[in-house]
Homo-oligomer: A and B are copies of this chain.
């Protein structure tokens, strides 16, 4: 691995002259430039970005901390992030926390050490603990998908309240009254907001949300399985299941099948988050779809914007609309 000094020696000039050729800055005679370029290609010289970063205090690297890249919502979002970042010459480090605050804190610590220019974060907890070090070190960051209540921070997320409202309204319109809500963790803002959307829809229909019908658990297949099992064992059995994410919905479908319930004849199932068309031959689930790719794009654009513009600005909250897609998993109340 040759350095700028090697190139300089070979071309018989100073390091500075080589630097000028590389960065096309200052005055260089045509002849010198050619000699330097010759030396560069002979040595296969590649500038060391580390050294540059050390001086410039800029790594042109950002990080994306999410809970699990394996969740198709986050996969798509990650793709949106990487597309925008790479277009603007930034690299993306990705990290999976699995909802662990400890993992999250460790990743943040490492990323601070690595001097990433900015951070996109799907926060695991609703407290400010995780982001405290970020503020302290002055690292620009944008919250993704979730936010931290009571703070004003840059954040990009789906419109959970209205999305949840529309989905609930759809069930109510179909005549459902016994609706089991399988939510994510009670501390996560997406859960809270979606339950709130559900509550409002019920309220606006002249009903009150039966809190005993709201289950809380992890946003995972296992969490969904446990909640669905419990919910469907209740008497009288709910006529609809309202899942707060795709994993939970998938488990609900599984449990329904296991206990011999047909969807939607015996049980309606609706959920947040759609699955990419590439994964489903025949789209079946009625969903509130979030624009995951755009979320990733916009969060990254916002972050990179923060990096380039110096002055402090008002925090920005970008809330993207969800889209209700009615399919075959929801139907009228069974007789």
Contact = CB atoms under 8 A, between A and B. Distances in A.
Contacts of A253: 281-282
Given A68-B79, A113-B49, A280 B279 contact: yes
Interface in A173-189: none
A310 interface: no
Given A44-B136, A70-B75, A92-B93, 19 more contacts: A1-B137, A46-B109, A46-B113, A50-B59, A50-B114, A69-B82, A70-B276, A71-B278, A72-B279, A83-B96, A91-B93, A92-B94, A221-B277, A221-B278, A253-B281, A253-B282, A254-B281, A279-B279, A280-B280
A62 to B, nearest CB: 10
Contacts of A112: 46
A288 interface: no
A48 interface: yes
A117 B95 CA distance: 18
Contact of A79 (B70, B89, B282): B70
Interface in A87-112: 89, 91-96, 107, 109-112
Nearest to A110: B91
Contacts of A113: 46-49
A137 B69 contact: no
Interface string A267-305: 000000001111111101000000000000000000000
A335 interface: no
A76 B72 CA distance: 10
A61 B278 contact: no
A260 interface: no
A20 interface: no
B281 A281 contact: no
A78 interface: yes
